[in-house]
A and B are shown apart, each in its own frame.
Chain A
Amino acid sequence: KAGVTQTPRYLIKTRGQQVTLSCSPISGHRSVSWYQQTPGQGLQFLFEYFSETQRNKGNFPGRFSGRQFSNSRSEMNVSTLELGDSALYLCASSSQGTETQYFGPGTRLLVL
Chain B
Amino acid sequence: DQQVKQNSPSLSVQEGRISILNCDYTNSMFDYFLWYKKYPAEGPTFLISISSIKDKNEDGRFTVFLNKSAKHLSLHIVPSQPGDSAVYFCAATATGTSYGKLTFGQGTILTVHP
- A contact set with B: CB distance below 8 Å: 4, 6, 31-33, 35, 42-43, 45, 48-50, 55-56, 58, 88, 90, 92, 94, 99-106, 108
A100→B46 contact, CB < 8 A: yes
Expressed in whole angstroms, the Cα–Cα distance for A64 and B89 within the complex equals 25
Within the complex, the shortest CB–CB distance from A105 to chain B, in Å, comes to: 5
Q: A43-B89, A94-B100, A101-B100 are in contact. List 6 more A-B contacts (CB 8 A).
A: A56-B99, A88-B41, A90-B43, A100-B49, A101-B46, A103-B43
Q: Contacts A42-B106, A43-B89, A99-B93; is A90 near B101 (CB within 8 Å)?
A: no
B106→A101 contact, CB < 8 A: no
A33→B101 contact, CB < 8 A: yes
Q: B95: CB under 8 A from chain A?
A: yes
Within the complex, the shortest CB–CB distance from B57 to chain A, in Å, comes to: 12
Q: Encode contact with A along B47-70: 1 for CB under 8 Å, 0 otherwise.
A: 001000000000000000000000
Expressed in whole angstroms, the Cα–Cα distance for A50 and B45 within the complex equals 22
When distances are taken between beta carbons in the complex, the residues of chain A under 8 Å from B74 are: none
Contact among B41, B89, B100, B106 for A33, CB-based, below 8 A: B100
Expressed in whole angstroms, the Cα–Cα distance for A42 and B105 within the complex equals 8
When distances are taken between beta carbons in the complex, the residues of chain A under 8 Å from B98 are: 56, 99
Q: Which residue of B lies closest to A41 (CB)?
A: B106
Contact among A4, A35, A55, A104 for B99, CB-based, below 8 A: A55
Expressed in whole angstroms, the Cα–Cα distance for A103 and B104 within the complex equals 14
Q: Which residue of B lies closest to A106 (CB)?
A: B43
Residues facing A in B75-109 (CB within 8 A) are 89, 91, 93, 95, 98-107
B95→A90 contact, CB < 8 A: no
Contact among A49, A56, A106 for B101, CB-based, below 8 A: A56
Expressed in whole angstroms, the Cα–Cα distance for A49 and B36 within the complex equals 22
A105→B101 contact, CB < 8 A: no
Q: What are the 10 closest A-B residue pairs judged by CB atoms, nearest first? A: A48-B100, A103-B43, A56-B99, A43-B104, A55-B99, A33-B100, A45-B101, A99-B32, A103-B44, A105-B43
A42→B34 contact, CB < 8 A: no
